[in-house]
Chains A and B, each alone.
Chain A
Amino acid sequence: MKDLQLKSQRFRAEREWDWRRLDGLLRRVEGGSASSLSDEELLAIPVLYRSALSSLSVARATALDHSLIDYLEGLSTRAYFFVYGARASIRDRIARFFTDTWPNAVKSIWRETLFAFAVAVVATLVAYLLVSQDSSWYGAFMDQGMASGRDPSATTEALRETLYPKLTTHDWLSALASFLFTHNAEVTLGAFAFGFAFGAPTLFLLAQNFLMLGAFLALFASRGLGLQLGGWLSVHGTTELFAVILGSAAGFRIGWRVAFPGDRTRIEAAAAAGRASAAVMGGVICMLAVAGMLEGFVRQLVQVDWQRYAIGWSILAVWLAYFYLPRPARPPS
């Protein structure tokens, strides 16, 4: 063995092997193969991490090798993030999201959900009553592009046809489904993200959606097509509108906490509320994907009213049971 003159040289020579071992283990973990580590290796990491930390302290106090200190800082930081970070695999984290995180988050914003639901009901009623009395209100609520010809000037026959489209082989069903999904997802993401402006834009987007619904209902009811429209909407609407209400509720939660932060700073309060409602939003996107499928495929394929009602409302029942039915507490893993 070479004669090492300086204490810092000896210090490094004695510990270098441990550092390299930790480095190697971390590389494997970071490469996504944490499961390939044996129990022994997994248990070694916290120990090696502590010894790297102590090496870092010693090196800072006694060694004047800059690159060594940099290396140890980087190594300790990476090890710290592993030792104190989340260690579950992506698959476990996603599974856990659907079994626990999402339903619990939805449950926790029930007050905002009720509020959003109330806003939705009021908006629908207002538009329905106004349009029933004077059909010129229709244009005020309805976006021309969304209406695509379904307005008071259309004949009853034309309106009926929009509810029961005749299928041809090339009807771009799946195209419609995918487009509807991405469109709705982006709108809902916006409604949620705008919650930070005290929830006002969220309220606007929510009300706008349901004003359109009310105007739509009034138009079709005036032609004696109310029941049929109900079926047409039920298929996907129960899922989609529920998702819109949940997304808005998440936005309201943030808006409320930004406006009334309590004894925290506004930014802290917004951050806390944002994290809580982000779980809701992640799930809402999934709901919208389901709604897009229903709207694009099922609604076009199922043309009988009672079947449409049955499909739509039983799916809603499933959602409600999934979110709100009490479930046995799982032992924390």
Chain B
Amino acid sequence: MTAVTATPRPTATPRPAASADPGASRVRAFVTPEGVDLRLRIGDAAERAVGYVLDLLFINASLLVLFLAAVGALSVFRNDAGEVAFVIWTLLSFLISNGYFIVMELTPRAATFGKRIMGTRVAARDGGRLTAEAIFIRNAMREIELALPFRMWLSAAIGGAGPALGWLFLLVLLWVGVFLFFPLFNRDRLRVGDFVAGTWVVKAPRERLGIDLLDAVQATQSAFVFSPEQASAYGVKELYVLEDVLRRKDAKTMAAVAERIRAKIAWRPSPDESDAAFLAAYYGALRARLEIQLLFGRRRKDKFDVG
């Protein structure tokens, strides 16, 4: 038994967008050294934005709390609290606003709290190790992307630049706009910092393993007997939709879906049968049918696929 030490580089290439699935354009082929495609999904713009806003909230909240705590504690012991407060404020705000991202992304999960909540993490685009340098540079670039222009405008505003101030503000907005919306104009949703550091932000959610829906089916199945024609009315795509409906357990949707399926397969419901039980049983029958076909080498894409 050997631990893996060598790093054969996996290959990450854009997957040709063939599927009609709207999420498919987010999926990138990512082949591990073992030869399995992990199908990484990159974090989309909304996830990135929400994650960043959450991080800003955490940073500012913790800054405020730490600052108040430190000043409160110190003012008890010393009477020159003004200076101490200033020092604490400058150092804390520099350390936390710059160190937070870097330290959090250096941890094994490579994600800030905001990213963790959104289920994303930072990874090296070439599939290699995520180096400390890459993390440093992707966060240092944030300085010119967002912080620097605003700081310049602020110092100009304090200095009293007069009528030029409005124009300067416009310039700052333009600058920030370019960097802020940069991720929207490339396929992989890269920030300028990601570009430079060779990183990207991908989904790496902690998924829970749901129950196997078939386990629930077994108990009730005897009440439902579907003919082979009825059990092969749909394909894989519809099976996945049905799985989704069953896991969400929304009564209205289940009623509507059950109605459609009954009509399609000409099912005559017994008076006391519930929508949930019917759907679960039909799911079991359809999946059994499709999986058997799969074993014979035929994957039926959807209900129109009758080949």
Contact = CB atoms under 8 A, between A and B. Distances in A.
Interface in B245-271: 247
B71 interface: no
Contacts of A87: 108
Interface band, chain B: 35 or more
B291 A278 contact: no
B1 A271 contact: no
B212 A65 contact: yes
A36 B251 CA distance: 46
Interface string B1-27: 111100100000000000000000000
Given A67-B210, A76-B38, A175 B86 contact: yes
Contacts of B244: 66
A5 B208 CA distance: 24
Contact of B206 (A29, A61, A78): A78
Interface string A182-221: 1001100110111010000000000000000000000000
B305 to A, nearest CB: 14
Interface string A149-183: 00000000000000000000010101101110110
Given A46-B4, A71-B208, A275-B131, A77 B198 contact: no
A71 B129 contact: no
| Chain B contact residues: helix, strand, loop or mixed | helix
Contact of B39 (A43, A54, A73): A73
Interface band, chain A: 35 or more
Nearest to A145: B159
A47 B109 contact: no
Contacts of A2: 215, 218
Contacts, number: 198
B87 interface: yes
A46 to B, nearest CB: 5
B7 A47 contact: no
Nearest to A65: B212
Given A63-B291, A186-B151, A71 B36 contact: no
Contact of A73 (B38, B84, B108, B144): B38
A77 B212 contact: no
B273 interface: no
B291 A64 contact: yes
B204 interface: yes
A193 B143 contact: yes
A206 to B, nearest CB: 17
A30 B218 CA distance: 37
Nearest to A193: B144
Interface string A34-72: 100000001100110010011011000111111110110
Given A9-B214, A50-B34, A279 B291 contact: no
A284 to B, nearest CB: 11
Nearest to B88: A178
Nearest to B121: A81
A282 interface: yes
B290 A279 contact: no
B29 interface: no
B54 interface: no
Contact of B106 (A65, A93, A181, A189): A93
B83 A278 contact: no
A74 B206 contact: yes
A270 B138 CA distance: 13
Interface of A: 2-3, 5-9, 12, 16, 19-20, 23, 27, 29-30, 32, 34, 42-43, 46-47, 50, 53-54, 56-57, 61-68, 70-71, 73-78, 80-87, 90, 93, 97, 101, 170, 172, 174-175, 177-179, 181-182, 185-186, 189-190, 192-194, 196, 267, 270-272, 274-276, 278-279, 281-282
10 contacts: A6-B291, A20-B209, A32-B108, A68-B209, A71-B209, A86-B131, A270-B196, A271-B196, A272-B198, A274-B197
